[in-house]
Amino acid sequence: MEKFAEKLRGLANRVETLKSSIATEEATKTAIVMPFFQILGYDVFDPNEFTPEFTADVGIKKGEKVDYAILSEGKPVILIECKGINQVLTKHDSQLFRYFGTTTSKFSILTNGIEYKFFTDLEEPNKMDVSPFFVFNITELRDAQIIEIAKFRKESFDVDKITSNASELKYLNALKVYLSGQFNAPSEDFVRFLVNQIYDGVKTKTTIEKFTPIIARGLKQIVNEQVNDKLSAALKSTNENKAATEVETEVEIQEVSEIITTHEELESYAITKVILSGTIDSERVFYRDNKSYFNILIDDSIRKWIMRVYFEKNRNFIILNDGINDKERTVIEFEKPIDLLNSKELIVKTAEVFL
């Protein structure tokens, strides 16, 4: 997902760089729209998968064409209508609306290369909804939007899953747009609703006007306080982690002069690197020897320890870092370091959590 997000943000930067020099609809398609669908994993040069000028006959009109259609098993699953980068999309919704009902496609996308509107048929089967269920601006991408865009990748495209989520997504986005507007400029109806919750007197027009700036200020204060609380919590957590690291480092420095790393401990370290060789680069696997146990960890980070190895007088065993405390963690006894190979699956599973 990180690489996918990086590619989308790279395209966003490309759009910002090129938008002033793109003058036509064809230039918009070539420079911005086709690269977007390439990022989604579609071969935009294979007409059996990504068909340009797809014919979508409308009523008595024959030869009506959609800019692109994404095909699956020879049938369109997504229709794409493109406009020039400087055109406003709301002027063209009706055109795509006509195409939708003439094909087997379940989704349609209207875009000018910057804004993307995704439609389906939530309100009435086989009839494209008037309003989209998902909208984003590629130059203002949010993490939540990237997650939704990823559902349209070729490798993960699932009509049923997207459709079942479309209704919730549509009304959730509509709610966010509405509330965002109210936070910036609360309407009279919204103010009246809130006044009804907090004021027992008569709600005259003068009263509503009096409360409007109070409510607007209160809404902004709520948002600011929540942001500040989260920032404070994050800073506190960072400081606590830093303090904990410093304490751990001091303890390790005090103990190191009393530690003797044995041949058996080094052998267990070597065998663990072999066990993890197909999962992680061996250069990322480290050890730290302590007075009471031998620690094997990733990236030389005490917070990424995989297991602790104990060589005691009457017992050899390891404790895997697969629980929140020693009572919940897996304990495995062994006779010789080579026996750790018998626990390969559990050791690999523990390490994968920290990759």
Q: Which of 149, 181, 213 is the last residue of a domain?
A: 181
Domain assignment of residue 336, yes or no = yes
Q: Return the pLDDT at 35.
A: 92
- Residues 157, 299, single domain; the answer is no
**HEC states along the chain?**
CHHHHHHHHHHHHHHHHHHHHCCCHHHHHHHHHHHHHHHCCCCCCCCCCEEEEEECCECCECCCEEEEEEEECCEEEEEEEECCCCCCHHHHHHHHHHHHCCCCCCEEEEECCCEEEEECCCCECCECCCCCCEEEEHHHCCHHHHHHHHCCCCCCCCHHHHHHHHHHHHHHHHHHHHHHHHHHCCCHHHHHHHHHHHCCCCCCHHHHHHHHHHHHHHHHHHHHHHHHHHHHHHHHHHHHHHHHHHHHHHHHHHHHCCCCCCHHHHHHHHHHHHHCCCCCCHHHEEEEECCCCEEEEECCCHHHEEEEEEECCCCEEEEECCCCCCCCCCEEECCCHHHHHHHHHHHHHHHHCCC
- Residues 19, 120, single domain; the answer is yes
Q: Return the pLDDT at 91.
A: 57
Q: Return the pLDDT at 251.
A: 52
- Residues 281, 158, single domain; the answer is no
Residues of the chain scoring pLDDT < 50: 60, 256
Domain assignment of residue 174, yes or no = yes
- Cα–Cα dist 209/206, whole Å: 5
Domain assignment of residue 286, yes or no = yes
Domain count, the chain: 2
Give yes or no for a contact between 134 and 170, defined as CB atoms under 8 angstroms apart.
Answer: yes
Domain assignment of residue 230, yes or no = no
- Residues 33, 151, single domain; the answer is yes
- Cα–Cα dist 91/68, whole Å: 19
Q: Return the pLDDT at 201.
A: 83
Q: Which of 181, 210, 230 is the last residue of a domain?
A: 181
Give yes or no for a contact between 294 and 311, defined as CB atoms under 8 angstroms apart.
Answer: yes
- Residues 269, 177, single domain; the answer is no
- Residues 156, 52, single domain; the answer is yes
- Residues 32, 124, single domain; the answer is yes
- Cα–Cα dist 246/121, whole Å: 58
- Residues 144, 293, single domain; the answer is no
- Residues 267, 163, single domain; the answer is no
With a threshold of 0.75, does the pTM exceed it?
Answer: no
Domain assignment of residue 36, yes or no = yes
Question: 174 is in which domain, residue-wise?
Answer: 2-181
- Residues 137, 18, single domain; the answer is yes
- Residues 72, 174, single domain; the answer is yes
Q: Return the pLDDT at 60.
A: 45
> Tokens in use for 290?
């302590």
Backbone dihedral angles phi then psi of residue 275, each to the nearest 5 degrees: -60, -40
Domain assignment of residue 53, yes or no = yes
User: Residue 345's CB: how many other CB atoms inside 10 A?
Assistant: 9
Domain assignment of residue 201, yes or no = no
Q: Which of 127, 153, 181 is the last residue of a domain?
A: 181
Domain assignment of residue 231, yes or no = no
Provide the CATH number for the domain around residue 57: 3.90.1570
